[in-house]
């Protein structure tokens, strides 16, 4: 994902800045903690790194440590219902491991792109 925009033919490689919070971990509800994260979709893995990212922050670089990763195989993605968050443009990601995340951006097109990419990824890897 070093250059953008990506052609629509490679939905499984995507990155950008999103607001993210976990809401459930291992099936247990956790306290929301919205943070701005550099987010990378790589194959069936979604990676989050702290900070705004920007041009110089890339995995492999000085700030490269992923904060956490989730495996999307067997997971699901949907537009979050109003009771999940008061924010606009929120997508809910659920993993088979019992993690639930909310991802959000004030830019609706950004979130829509992520929604599509995540859905593509989940259906592509459905039988693994």
> Which residues contact ligand I3S by CB under 6 A?
31-32, 34, 85-87
User: Residue 94 is inside which H or E element, if any?
Assistant: strand 90-94
Residue-wise burial string across 110-119, b where 16 or more C-beta atoms lie within 10 A, e elsewhere: bbebbbebbb
Give the span between the Cα atoms of 119 and 127, in whole angstroms: 14
Residue 87 or 125: the one with the smaller Cβ distance to ligand I3S is 87
Give the span between the Cα atoms of 11 and 117, in whole angstroms: 5
Residue 3 or 86: the one with the smaller Cβ distance to ligand I3S is 86
Q: How far is the CB of 70 from ligand I3S (least distance, A)?
A: 19
Q: How far is the CB of 112 from ligand I3S (least distance, A)?
A: 19
Give the span between the Cα atoms of 7 and 27, in whole angstroms: 36
Q: State residue 115 phi and psi, 5-degree precision.
A: -55, -50
Residue 40 or 103: the one with the smaller Cβ distance to ligand I3S is 103
Q: How far is the CB of 92 from ligand I3S (least distance, A)?
A: 11
Q: How far is the CB of 89 from ligand I3S (least distance, A)?
A: 12
Residue 19 or 121: the one with the smaller Cβ distance to ligand I3S is 19
């Amino acid at each position: 994902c070093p250059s953008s925009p990506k052609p629509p033919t490679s939905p499984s490689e995507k990155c950008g800045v999103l607001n993210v919070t976990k809401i459930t971990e291992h099936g247990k509800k956790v306290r929301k903690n919205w943070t701005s994260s550099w987010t990378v979709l790589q194959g069936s893995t979604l990676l989050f790194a702290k900070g705004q990212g920007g041009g110089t922050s890339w995995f492999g670089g000085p700030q490269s440590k992923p904060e956490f990763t989730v495996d999307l195989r067997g997971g699901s993605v949907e537009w979050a219902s109003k009771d999940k968050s008061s924010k606009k443009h929120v997508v809910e990601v659920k993993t088979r491991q019992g993690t639930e995340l909310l991802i959000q951006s004030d830019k609706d097109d950004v979130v829509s792109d992520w929604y599509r990419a995540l859905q593509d990824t989940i259906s592509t890897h459905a039988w693994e």
